[in-house]
């Protein structure tokens, strides 16, 4: 079920809803909405605070069922933590935890007064947007048809209203569009690789653009790519029966003749490592190796849904990397679309090999204003930054600053790593123009250095989302990152 959002201005003690959400800081300090509910219920919340049943700890939740004095059937009291240190990241956290708690209750609607909470430096529209996106994220369910459905008759949360006036309407509209993009990305990435292969991704992209104004989708198959000279990309896909595809979407929301912004996303639908086979433990997570493709497609969906007044191109090189008698090998030398030759030292460093041809194609075909790629590219980035920050690399300080600012605004944050020429020597090859790996040290950076050789003359940035694209573990799901970051960057460009 897709969560529906709206705005509301009714008082928390009189609103007719299955549940209202109010906040309490540590040390028993009530927000204005909580104070109104407390007064209407004869001091119920304060008594719970005094008894220790409500702590105010950030993210904690307490349900008050059918309290006398208010119209709502339940009150969910959400801990906000210390008021002195309350900030944007905490606000997002409490919105996620509140939505998780509400989603577990047998109710179909709720009204949140958490958007009344003051967040330093942020207005009502921002609070509504963050709350809506956090709630949509927390209430997401993997509902593929081959997963047994919960047969319980318990109602599911279907609508959530936020306490805010018309000044927040713009934030709500953005949240609806970005949430749709995030769900598109998560649904795609969560699918098993026997379903989500290169042809399937192409079909989903075509289905989105079909009959939709200002959008188009073109798909290049392996025959067309062979004719054009995609020697690097095609080599990676040689070992699989699922043939490669290059998916090209266009959105013409800006003026005719304006240079488009361009996204390129790594779409390895399953990465076994090829001949350089990965260890078996954890290999099932390699279905998420198309997280970059999912992310840029989700950002494309969000941009179209918002009707942004700009031109946008989204290019997805999609392959499956498998071991086979026809697989490419360590020591093979490939000729890329750009003409540069590549010595393959490791077939598990395949993402950069499909991205380099896609970046060349995008630059040559569209001459974009700015080119950004997103990829689950290196385990080294996970070691460097963990699961919280996306790795950002660019030689363009202004572009890096724009992306970092978009990440801070959406809390889909990135951290910049250097892309100095000092690292390029690690990619030297005695048999080709460049090697596809640079050794043990600085792996995330040398991967970006490799890509930089195919983006000469471009205003380009690379996002390594290997740590942020999915949650680890047997039940880990795709996160939909960096849809929010890229969508915000496009909003900023559209003015």
How far does Cα 197 stand from its chain's mean position?
A: 20
Q: And the tokens for 484?
A: 């929010």
List the catalytic residue out of 252, 259, 278, 416.
Answer: 278
327: which 2 tokens?
A: 């697989």
Backbone dihedral region of 14: left (phi > 0), alpha (psi from -120 to 50 degrees) or beta?
A: alpha
Rounded distance between C-alpha atoms, residue 252 and residue 261, angstroms = 10
CB 94 within 8 A of CB 21: no
- Distance between CA atoms of residues 368 and 34, nearest Å: 51
Angle between helices 291-306 and 483-494 (to 10 degrees): 40
259 in catalytic set? no
Of 243, 305, 352, 493, the catalytic one is: 352
Strand partners, 160: 5, 110
266 catalytic residue (yes or no): no
**Which of 27, 30, 32, 26 is closest to 13 using CA atoms?**
32
Q: What angle do CA 266, 270, 274 make, to 5 degrees?
A: 100
Q: Where does 328-442 have alpha helices with state H?
A: 351-366, 379-385, 397-410
Rounded CA gap, 479 and 460, in Å?
A: 24
Question: Which positions are catalytic?
Answer: 278, 352
């Amino acid at each position: 079920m897709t969560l529906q959002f709206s705005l509301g201005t009714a008082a928390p003690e009189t609103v007719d809803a299955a549940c209202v959400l109010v906040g309490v800081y540590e040390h028993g300090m009530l927000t204005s909405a909580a104070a109104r509910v407390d007064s209407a219920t004869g001091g119920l919340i304060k008594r719970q605070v005094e008894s220790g049943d409500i702590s105010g700890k950030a993210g904690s939740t307490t349900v008050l069922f059918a309290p006398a004095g208010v119209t709502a059937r339940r009150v969910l009291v959400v801990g906000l933590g210390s008021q002195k240190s309350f900030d944007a990241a905490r606000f997002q956290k409490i919105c996620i935890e509140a939505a998780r708690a509400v989603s577990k209750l047998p109710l179909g609607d709720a009204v949140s007064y958490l958007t009344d909470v003051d967040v330093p430096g942020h207005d009502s529209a921002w609070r509504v947007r963050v709350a809506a996106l956090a709630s949509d994220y927390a209430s997401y369910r993997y509902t593929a048809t081959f997963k047994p459905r919960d047969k319980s008759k318990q109602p599911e949360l279907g609508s959530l209203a936020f306490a805010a006036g018309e000044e927040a309407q713009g934030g709500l509209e953005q949240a609806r569009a970005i949430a749709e993009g995030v769900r598109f990305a998560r649904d795609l990435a969560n699918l098993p690789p026997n379903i989500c292969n290169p042809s399937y991704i192409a079909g989903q992209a075509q289905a989105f653009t079909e009959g939709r104004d200002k959008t188009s989708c073109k798909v290049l198959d392996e025959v067309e790519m062979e004719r054009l000279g995609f020697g690097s990309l095609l080599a990676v896909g040689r070992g699989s029966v699922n043939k490669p595809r290059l998916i090209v979407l266009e959105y013409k929301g800006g003026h005719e003749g304006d240079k488009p912004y361009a996204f390129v996303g790594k779409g390895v639908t399953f990465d076994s490592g090829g001949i350089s086979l990965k260890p078996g433990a954890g290999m099932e997570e390699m279905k998420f190796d198309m997280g970059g493709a999912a992310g840029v497609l989700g950002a494309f969906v969000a941009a179209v849904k918002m009707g942004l007044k700009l031109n946008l191109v989204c290019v997805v090189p999609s392959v499956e990397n498998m071991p086979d008698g026809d697989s490419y090998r360590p020591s093979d030398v490939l000729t890329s679309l750009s003409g540069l030759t590549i010595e393959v030292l490791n077939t598990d460093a395949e993402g950069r090999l499909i991205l380099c041809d896609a970046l060349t194609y995008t630059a040559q075909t569209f001459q974009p204003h700015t080119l950004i790629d997103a990829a689950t590219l290196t385990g080294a980035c996970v070691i460097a930054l963990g699961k919280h920050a996306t790795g950002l690399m660019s030689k363009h300080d202004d572009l890096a600053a724009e992306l970092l600012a978009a990440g801070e605004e959406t809390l889909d944050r990135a951290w910049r790593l250097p892309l100095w020429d000092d690292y390029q020597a690690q990619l030297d090859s005695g048999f080709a123009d460049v090697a596809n790996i640079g050794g043990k040290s600085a792996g995330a950076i040398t991967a970006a250095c490799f890509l930089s050789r195919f983006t000469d003359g471009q205003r380009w940035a690379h996002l390594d989302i290997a740590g942020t694209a999915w949650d680890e573990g047997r039940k880990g799901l795709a996160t939909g990152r960096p849809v929010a970051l890229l969508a915000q960057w496009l909003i900023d460009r559209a003015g």
